[in-house]
Amino acid sequence: MSERVRRRVIVRGHVQGVWFRESTRQEAEKVGVTGWVRNLPDDTVEAALEGDPEAVEQVLAFVRVGPAAADVTSIDIRHETVVHEVAFEVRPTPAAD
C-alpha cells in the first residue's frame, strides 16, 4: 500500500445547489478516499481528501469538473499533514464570520 496523502481543496464557480457535496462523497467512497466536504458561506466548496495518492488524484479530477449541473471555474489545492480520517462525510456549512 502506498503512503497516504492529504489535500485540502477550495472549489469555485457554480458549485452549490448542484449536488456537489454528495457527488464528491460518492466519488471519494468509491475509490477509498476519506475526509470531508462542505459548502462555505462565500459560495465555494471546501474538501479535505486523504488516502492513496492515486485515489486522491481521482477525486481531485472529479472536483475539477464536478457533477453535471456544476460549473467549476477554479480550484486551489494545498498539501496537508495526514490525520488518518476513517470515513468521508458531508459537513455542515460553518457560520459566516
Q: Which of 6, 7, 21, 25 is catalytic?
A: 21
Q: How many residues does the chain have?
A: 97
Q: Is 63 helix (H, G, I), strand (E, B) or coil?
A: helix
Residue 6 is a catalytic residue:
no
Residue 64 is a catalytic residue:
no
Q: Which of 4, 39, 64, 78 is catalytic?
A: 39
37 contacts 91 by C-beta, under 8 angstroms: yes
DSSP labels, 15-74: -SSSSHHHHHHHHHHHHT-EEEEEE-TTS-EEEEEEE-HHHHHHHHHHHTT-STT-EEEE
The catalytic site residues sit at 21, 39
